[in-house]
Chains A and B, each alone.
Chain A
Amino acid sequence: MGDQNKTPVIEFKDFQFQYFSQAEPTLHDINLTIHKGEKILLVGPSGSGKSTLGHCLNGLIPFSYKGEIKGSLKIMGHETKDLDIFQISKMVGTVLQDSDGQFVGLTVGEDVAFALENDCVDLNTMKKTVQAVTDIVDMGQLLKSSPFELSGGQKQRVSFAGVMVDNVDILLFDEPLANLDPATGKTAIDLIDRVWRDQEKTVIIIEHRLEDVLYRDVDRIIVVSDGRIAADMTPDELMAADILPGLGIREPLYVTALKYAGIQVTPELHAGRLETLDTEQIREPLLAWNRAQKKQKKTEDRPVLLKADGIHFQYTKKRKILQDISFSIREGEMVSIVGTNGAGKSTLAKLICGFVKEDQGHLFYGQEDMSGWTIKERSEKIGYVMQNPNQMICKPMIYDEVALGLRIRGVPEEEIEPKVEKALKICGLSPFKKWPVSALSFGQKKRVTIASVLVLEPRILILDEPTAGQDYHHYTEIMEFLKSLNSQGVTILMITHDMHLMLEYTPHAIVISGGQKIGDSDSVEILTSEDIAAQANLKITSLYELALKTGIEDPSSFVQNFIDYERGTRRNESEAV
C-alpha cells in the first residue's frame, strides 16, 4: 500500500527536542517522512526516545511536556509549532498504553463519545456516531458496560473507538500489547490491521515486542536508538541487517534460531514474517543443527517446598475463583503461573501469602500445614513483590525502604545494617545505598522492592509480572538477576503472560484457566500444546511453528534444543564478561 499515492503526512526535518528538565536533547537529527496509508512500526529500547517521538506526533509535546524544539515537524502539511494540541488531535488519534487509566467515561458509550462531547456535537448525532464506530471494533453490543466489566482487550477496543470517532487520518498506538495476554495481543494486531486496510488510515505502532506486531504486515520498521533513527527499512531488510541485538531489541525467536543454525539471513529469505519465510533454503541447515544438539540431562528432584492440595476459593457464592487446585513446587525451582486475565492467578498468589483464606483444601510449606499461619508469619518464608513498584515503596530513602520490614519486626539497628547491605548487594544496588528512591529508574525501583522483600530472607519469592513494561535489555537484566537469586537457593514463582519469559527462564509452568488447573508440566511442553494454548489464551511459540513449517519431526524437542543452546551461549557470554 501507499506506493501509488505518496502524499507525505508526517515530515520530520532536522528535528531536535530537549525537555526543559534535561541537560541533553532527547531527540537528535530526526529526518523522517511517513506517507499516507503507510503502516509503520516504531521500535527502540526504553529511554531511546521512541515515546518522546510519539509525544511529538500527538501534541503532548510541547503542550503537556515542555521543552525546546529545533527543526521542523509537519503533520498533513502544517507546522506543528503553529498548531495547538486540539488541532493536532483532529489529525492524529492516540491510543495510549494503559487502556485502564485512560477510560474517562463511566460506560463504553460515554467513553467513546468523549471527544464528540468536547466538540459540542448534539446528542442524536453523537449516539449514531458512537454506534457506528463501536460496531467497527465489535463493541457495539456493550455500550452500557462499565470498565470493570470489560477485559483488557475490550478496554483497548474502547479507547481505539474513542479516537476513531474523530475520523482522524493518522492512528498512533503507544505499546498496544503491553497489558494484554498473548492471544488477545494477537487479536489486537489483527484489528489494527483490519482498520488500516478497511478505513485507509496511516498507522504508527510504537512497540518493542517486534515479533508479535509482525504477526501482520508492516510497511516499514523505524528503529530509534539514543534519540536518533538507527534504521528505517522493511521488515525483511531489518531481519537481514542484524542490528537489533546490538541495540537491546529482541529479534523474533525464529530469526535467532536461524542464526544459531548458521544460516545467513538475507532480505530474499523474507524473514520479516514467519508466514512469508522461505523455508526451502533453510530446511537443511536447520535440520542439521537440530540433529547436532545434545540432550541435556535432567537434574535430580529435590524435596517439595510448597504444596497445594485441593484448594477451592470463591469471593461470593456465585463466582468460583479457584476450583480444586493442587500442585507441588520443589525447592530451588523457578515456576511460571500463566493463564488469562481473571483466571485466578493473582488470587492463587494471595492465597499463598495468606491475604485471603481458602474455602477448602490445604497449603503446605514443606511438611507443615499453613492454614493457621498469619500474613506476618507467612511473610517470613514467602515474599511477595507487586507488579508496580510505586505501589510498594513508602520511604523516601532506599536504605530505609529496604530496612522497613526489619524495623517493624523490632530487629536492633546494628543487626539491620549488615542485612540491608547484603540485600542491596544481591540486587546490585550497593552504590545507591544512600540515594533517594526518586532518583531511580523504574527497573531499579523494582529491584528496591525485591531487596526490601529479600531482606526478610524468604525461601520463596512470588513476583507479579516481574517484567511488565520492560524492554528486552531490562527484561534480560531483571530475569538474569532472578535467575542468580534462584541459583542461590530462593524458590521463585512468577505470575506472567510473557511467553518468552516462561519458555526461557522457568522450566516448570502451571496453567490456570477459568479457575482450574489445565496444565502443570514442562514449559516447552505447554507452549507447544495447541490445546492448552487455546484454552488459556497463550500463544504457541514461533519456534514451534518454524519447526512445523520446515518439517522437523519432533517440534517440541527442537524448542527445547533452542532453549538449551541459548542458555549455553548466554552463560558463556556472562562468563566472558
Chain B
Amino acid sequence: MKAKLFDYIDRDNFVYNLSGLTKLMAFICLTFSVMFSYDIRYILFVLAVSFCFFRISEITFRQVRTMVIYVAVFLLINFLLTYLFSPQYGTQIYGTTHEIFRFNSRYTVTLEQLLYQVTKILKYASGIPLGMIFLLTTNPSEFAASLNRIGVSYKASYALALTLRYFPDMIRDYQDISLAQQSRGLDLSKKEKLSTRVKNMMNIFVPLIFTTLDRIELISNAMDLRGFGKNKKRTWYAGKPLGRNDYIAMLFSAAILAGSVCVSVFVNGSRFYNPFI
C-alpha cells in the first residue's frame, strides 16, 4: 500500500553499501550533469549509467511502480505542453529548419523541435532513477547523518529523518481512523458527491492531527530525556565510514559532471549539441 512508498528495505549490494554521503554527492553530481548539458549523446550515456546502477541496486519494479506511473504521466503532459506553447523553440535554438510535417503555419513538426523535446525528456528520465535509487537505498538515519556531514545542522537533519521514520505510522493511524469513521457511516467512496467527500475527509484529519500531536509530545520528551540537543555536535550510529568504493563512486560521479561541462565547452562550444550545421 501507500505506506510502502518510502519503506526502506535493507539489502546487501554495492549501491546499498555506499555511505549516504556518497550517494547524496553522486546524486547531485549526476543530476547536475544532465541538467546542465543539452547534448543528447551525453545524456544517453548518463541514462545508461543510471539504469546500470538501478539494476545493481536490485530495486524491484514493484517498489517503484506507482512512482513510475506518475512520472510517465508528468513527462507526457510536459512533452505535449512544450509543443503546444513553443512549437518553434527547437528551430530558434539550432538556427535551422528541417520540416517533416505541418498542421498549420504555427504548428509544424521540425527535426530540431523533435531533438529538443526528446533531449529534454531524456534529461528527466535519467535524473529520476537516480532520485529513486537515492531515496530507496538510503536509510533515513544515514541520510540525516550525511546531511549533517555536509554542513546541515543536525537538528534539521534529524527532523527530516524522523518525518520519514514516522510517515508509515501516520498512514497506519489514518487507515485506523478512517475505518472507525466509516463504521459510523462516513462514506468516502466515489458514490458520494465530491463536496461531501471532502467534508468527510475532514472528519478523519481532525483526529489524525490530534493523534499526531500526542505522538510529537511523546517523542520530544523521549528525546529530551536522552540528551538530544545537549551538544553542538553529535555522532551517528548509522553513519558509515567512507570506504574505497565510496571514493571510487565519488570520483566517478565527479568525472561525469566534469565530462558534461567539458563536452559543452570544448566539443559543442555551447550547452547544446547541434547536428544540423
Contact = CB atoms under 8 A, between A and B. Distances in A.
A144 interface: yes
A391 B237 contact: no
Interface in A95-137: 96, 98, 101-102, 104-107, 109-110, 113-123, 126-127, 130
Contact of A388 (B211, B234, B237): B211
Given A379-B185, A404-B184, A394 B206 contact: yes
A496 B256 CA distance: 60
A117, A386, A405, A409: residue with the most chain B Cβ atoms closer than 10 Å? A117
Interface string B115-155: 00000000000000000000000011100000000000000
B98 to A, nearest CB: 55
Interface stretch (B65-73, B78-86, B223-231): B223-231
Contacts of B223: 104, 114
B87 to A, nearest CB: 49
A405 B185 contact: yes
Contact of B222 (A85, A102, A355): A102
Contact of A60 (B206, B215, B224): B224
Given A86-B230, A123-B237, A60 B225 contact: yes
A379 B184 contact: yes
B141 A105 contact: yes
A89 interface: yes
Given A117-B236, A123-B237, A379-B184, A390 B225 contact: no
Given A126-B235, A404-B203, A58 B225 contact: yes
Contacts of A405: 184-185
A383 B184 CA distance: 8
| Residue of A123, A126, A378 most packed against chain B (CB within 10 A) | A123
B258 interface: no
Nearest to A114: B226
A63 interface: yes
Chain A, interface residues (CB within 8 Å), range: 35 or more
B35 to A, nearest CB: 31
Contacts of B186: 408
Contacts of A189: none
Contacts of A94: 225
A370 interface: no
A384 B183 contact: yes
A518 interface: no
Instruction: Tell which of B179, B204, B233, B236 has the most Cβ of chain A within 10 Å.
Output: B179
B52 interface: no
Contacts of B95: none
B221 A64 contact: yes
A114 B225 CA distance: 11
Contact of B207 (A101, A144, A354, A392): A392
A509 interface: no
A109 B221 contact: no
Contact of B237 (A102, A130, A148, A379): A130
A393 interface: yes
Contacts of B207: 390-394
B237 A105 contact: yes
Given A89-B225, A104-B219, A105-B141, A386 B184 contact: no
Nearest to A65: B221
Interface in A390-441: 390-395, 404-405, 408-409
A117 B142 CA distance: 13
A292 to B, nearest CB: 48
Contact of B227 (A64, A118, A350, A353): A118
B228 A392 contact: no
B211 A391 contact: yes
Contacts of A60: 221, 224-225
B231 A120 contact: yes
B8 A390 contact: no
A453 interface: yes
A58 to B, nearest CB: 6
A378 B218 contact: no
B187 interface: yes
A163 interface: yes
Contact of A376 (B187, B202, B214): B187
B166 to A, nearest CB: 10
A332 interface: no
A272 to B, nearest CB: 31
Given A102-B219, A392-B180, A121 B238 contact: no
B235 A120 contact: yes
A379 B183 contact: yes
A295 B173 CA distance: 47
Contact of B226 (A89, A106, A123, A130): A89
B225 A123 contact: no
B176 interface: yes
Interface in B213-265: 214-215, 218-231, 233-239, 241
A1 interface: no
Contacts of B211: 388, 390-391
A59 B225 contact: yes
B199 to A, nearest CB: 10
A45 interface: no
A555 interface: no
A375 interface: yes
Contacts of A354: 183
B180 A118 contact: no
Interface string A350-387: 10011100000000000000000001101100011010
B185 A409 contact: yes
A453 B230 contact: no
B17 interface: no
Nearest to A162: B226
20 contacts: A58-B225, A64-B224, A85-B225, A89-B225, A96-B218, A101-B219, A104-B219, A106-B161, A106-B238, A109-B237, A110-B238, A123-B236, A355-B182, A376-B183, A379-B182, A392-B177, A393-B207, A394-B181, A409-B185, A453-B184
Given A118-B234, A126-B235, A391-B180, 18 more contacts: A59-B225, A85-B224, A90-B227, A104-B162, A109-B237, A110-B237, A113-B237, A114-B228, A120-B231, A127-B237, A355-B182, A386-B176, A392-B181, A393-B206, A393-B207, A452-B184, A453-B184, A456-B184
Interface of A: 58-60, 63-64, 85-86, 89-90, 94, 96, 98, 101-102, 104-107, 109-110, 113-123, 126-127, 130, 144, 148, 162-163, 166, 350, 353-355, 375-376, 378-379, 383-384, 386, 388, 390-395, 404-405, 408-409, 452-453, 456
